[in-house]
Structure 1
Amino acid sequence: MFLMGESLVNNFISLGADEPEEINGNHKESAIASSCSQQSNISSLLAETRDDNVNTTERLNQGFMQYGCSHYRRRCQIRASCCNEIFYCCHCHNEAKNNIIIEGKLRHDLPRHEVQQVICSLCGTEQEQVGQVCVNCGVYMGKYFCKTCIFYDDDTSRSQYHCNGCGICRIGGHEIFFHCYKCGCCYSVHLKNSHPCVEGAMHPDCLVCFDYLFESRNDITVMPCGHTIHTNCLKEMRQHLQYAYPICSKYVCDICPRCRRSLRWKLPQHQCLNHITIKRFGFCAMTVEQPQKFSFMWWLRNA
């Protein structure tokens, strides 16, 4: 009898000892299942986030390079504070409001820093605050955006950058330009230690077309004398036999000493020391039959 009771007790103890193992096994299985569920939830959240990012990117880039004017590609228009009319950019406004067909007293320009109202080109929403993204449809109104200049541009291949010295945006990349504080504008780094400084060289109007050089979008040439002029205007001067800058009367190209001494006299055709065939027609007129080189000139362009 004692042996049988001892055997039953031992069996009961052994059965009781097996129960925690079963319970621990159940906990492990539930923990594994919970971990798999969490991983599945994380994966689904990541997938949803990726989808949201894709949708956000698509929404931001909607209409990219499809809107704009002849000056800039942008997905917004500006309301001019001076006349309350809508234009794509300040240049569009100035061309429309400051030309010879407008009565003199009504002609005016729009300073770019005075723009305060912007209208989305996709949804037509007028923005309460100037920003890069439309508050209604959520698109980029310009891939490049400068809050200081209120400047938008989708064409970022021009490497726009804001120059604090100039106070406006330039193109070409800040790596290859530097700001000369005496001349008052950005020049190519090739001119950093070689250009003659002329105070405010970029701030007068072009002497040929009378366009304001500092904010002009046309190519500008820095001449050996330090003065500036539109590149196309310089070519036009050459076509009209003008080879000296009107302000300082310095030559804008290489001319040999013999030619310089004889510029004011009517001389027969001869061969210049620089291998350029020229003719004298009295005073300062000169015809160049072979193209001259302007290797020491550099050009820059504004945004």
Structure 2
Amino acid sequence: MYIFLQLYNYVYLQFQHSLTKCDCLMQPITQQQSDHSQEHCNEVMIAKIFKLEPGSRDKSDSDKQIVLKQFTYQTISDERKSYIDSEMKKIYHHMLLEYYDPTIPDYTCLSNFHKREGEYAKNWVEKPLDQQVFAKYELGKSVGCGHYIRGCQVRCETCQKFYPCRLCHDDEEDHDFPRYKTTTVKCNYCHEEQPIQQNCRHCNALFGSYYCDKCKLACNMGVDAKPNYHCDGCKMCMVGLRSESKHCDKCNGCFNVAYFDKHKCIQEKTDCIICLGELTKTIYGRIVLQCGHQLHSHCYHQLINSNILKCPICKRFMPVDQDRESILRWQKKLYRKVFIPFEYEGYVVKVKCNDCSREFPQHHHPLLYYCPSCDLFNCEIIDEYSGIPQQKVMQILKQFENQNQNIIHPRHTQVDDVLQVLQDQFGDAQITLDFLGCELDKTNVAVFGAVLNQFPKTLEELKALYISSL
């Protein structure tokens, strides 16, 4: 199942500049300013967007990595801590090298890449690694809190206390921060109290590269990672490109224009189904699943990265939009590679699709069960055909397969299926067998099925596994 964790090649994991020396404020600061800002340092994620030297075959080899751009992606709050910890260990397929333009914001570049999806193969991540661009992450320091990169603190007009942001305030106080009534800020560098604005009137430090007078919001994440725009419908600033977003009056939320017509309107207020946090007051994006349940974007990605692909409430297939397409494509590829273990040949179970609730027979499979009605792998075993003669059970299965001509069949431990997988994975089945020094027949086909289920990547690895299995 580890292969699912490699699916999110397109995830929006972009960053701004290395902020270890507080250079996120994009202007020189004095030593005095630097000393003061240390009181308000926060931990952030830094992304490095890189390509590989020609001919490289290992994306994790740092000596072969050529950094194209690096920038801050996001702050590290308690809510996202576990999600971010897992991100630090990964390298993502970002896009094809021929489409990457380092002269424009990374967020925009990645968005343009997905808009042109029909121009390149959907399985572009399988192209040679030196034809791709990747993203990886490391920790850094900036100025602000766990929610924002910001060069100032804001004063609550209710309690008259200064806090790094409204969310930090709401975590401590028994009242909500009246963000639209904010009038005063305190510089994190010189501690000057002053009317809210984009720059400090005393030391000229930049509070935020983005400033909205309506929301009284100063934010310095940057356009590479998280560009902002103000939505009058939402009455707040949103992350994304205004040109690619559309407000839904029924949902009272913004959605990507590419998927606007497909989204399911949710009018009632709701909390995140994972962390139970509010979705209307958060700075984090929200995702509406096809089943109608909603959750924070970081909670959604945390589930996906943990290989949880069912809605925790109703069990319907959870991935949305491009995630849905990518995961289903990988599941189909995996289903065509995994063999039913020899000892389970002829063992049939009854499964139920969590999306359409249809019940039907399927060969017992170690990983997945396919529903031809939904074209999804979201089924669970609900019964066994115990007490029914084997011949009768096979007739039931055959009848179901005849009624569903579009069904995807699993791989069986038989000669034809093994030859096909060898052909698909290593290019030529007969040359592969010659390299192994053996013939494929009914006596060793079960061994081949077990060996191929370990996903050997090279002929040498295949041979070693085959020899050790004899």
* TM-score class, shorter: 0.5 to 0.7
Corresponding position of 1:88:
164
- Bigger proportion of residues as strand: 2
Pick aligned residue for 1:165 from 216, 233, 236 = 233
Answering whether residue 316 of structure 2 is matched by residue 251 of structure 1, we say yes
User: For residues 161-216 of structure 1, what are the alpha-carbon distances to aligned partners after superposition, in whole Å with 9 as ceiling and x for unaligned?
Assistant: 1111111001111111111111111001112222232225xx42213322111232
Corresponding position of 1:133:
199
Corresponding position of 1:261:
358
Which whole-Å CA distance do the structure 2 matches of 1:150 and 1:162 have between them?
A: 11
Which whole-Å CA distance do the structure 1 matches of 2:354 and 2:153 have between them?
A: 55
Contact map agreement 2:316 2:354 (CA 8 A) in 1: no
Q: 1:160 to 1:238 in 2, by over 3 A?
A: closer
- Where structure 2 has 5 or more consecutive residues not aligned to the other structure, the ranges are 1-24, 35-140, 319-327, 329-351, 384-470
Which whole-Å CA distance do the structure 1 matches of 2:306 and 2:222 have between them?
A: 35
Which whole-Å CA distance do the structure 1 matches of 2:364 and 2:158 have between them?
A: 58
Answering whether residue 27 of structure 2 is matched by residue 61 of structure 1, we say yes
Answering whether residue 153 of structure 2 is matched by residue 77 of structure 1, we say yes
Which whole-Å CA distance do the structure 1 matches of 2:180 and 2:316 have between them?
A: 37
Which whole-Å CA distance do the structure 2 matches of 1:77 and 1:219 have between them?
A: 23
Give the letter aligned to residue 183 of structure 1.
C
Give the letter aligned to residue 280 of structure 1.
I
Give the letter aligned to residue 61 of structure 1.
Q
Q: 1:210 to 1:136 in 2, by over 3 A?
A: same
Answering whether residue 253 of structure 2 is matched by residue 185 of structure 1, we say yes
User: For residues 258-302 of structure 1, what are the alpha-carbon distances to aligned partners after superposition, in whole Å with 9 as ceiling and x for unaligned?
Assistant: 972349xxx9956433574854368xxxxxxxxxxxxxxxxxxxx
Pick aligned residue for 2:187 from 103, 116, 120 = 120
Which whole-Å CA distance do the structure 1 matches of 2:234 and 2:382 have between them?
A: 44
Question: Which segments of structure 1 move beyond 6 Å, counting only runs of 4 or more?
Answer: 237-242
Q: 1:108 to 1:258 in 2, by over 3 A?
A: closer
CA RMSD of aligned residues (A): 3.8
Q: 1:244 to 1:75 in 2, by over 3 A?
A: closer
For normalisation by structure 1, the TM-score amounts to 0.57
Contact map agreement 1:113 1:148 (CA 8 A) in 2: yes
Pick aligned residue for 1:196 from 264, 267, 273 = 264
Q: 1:196 to 1:126 in 2, by over 3 A?
A: same
For 1:218, what is the secondary structure of its paired residue?
A: coil
For 2:191, what is the secondary structure of its paired residue?
A: coil
For normalisation by structure 2, the TM-score amounts to 0.38
For 1:213, what is the secondary structure of its paired residue?
A: coil
Task: Report which structure shows greater RCO (CA 8 Å, sep ≥6).
Answer: 2
For 1:169, what is the secondary structure of its paired residue?
A: strand
Contact map agreement 2:156 2:178 (CA 8 A) in 1: no
Corresponding position of 2:287:
221
Identical-pair percentage? 28
Q: 1:85 to 1:268 in 2, by over 3 A?
A: farther
Deviation at 1:223, TM superposition (A): 1.3
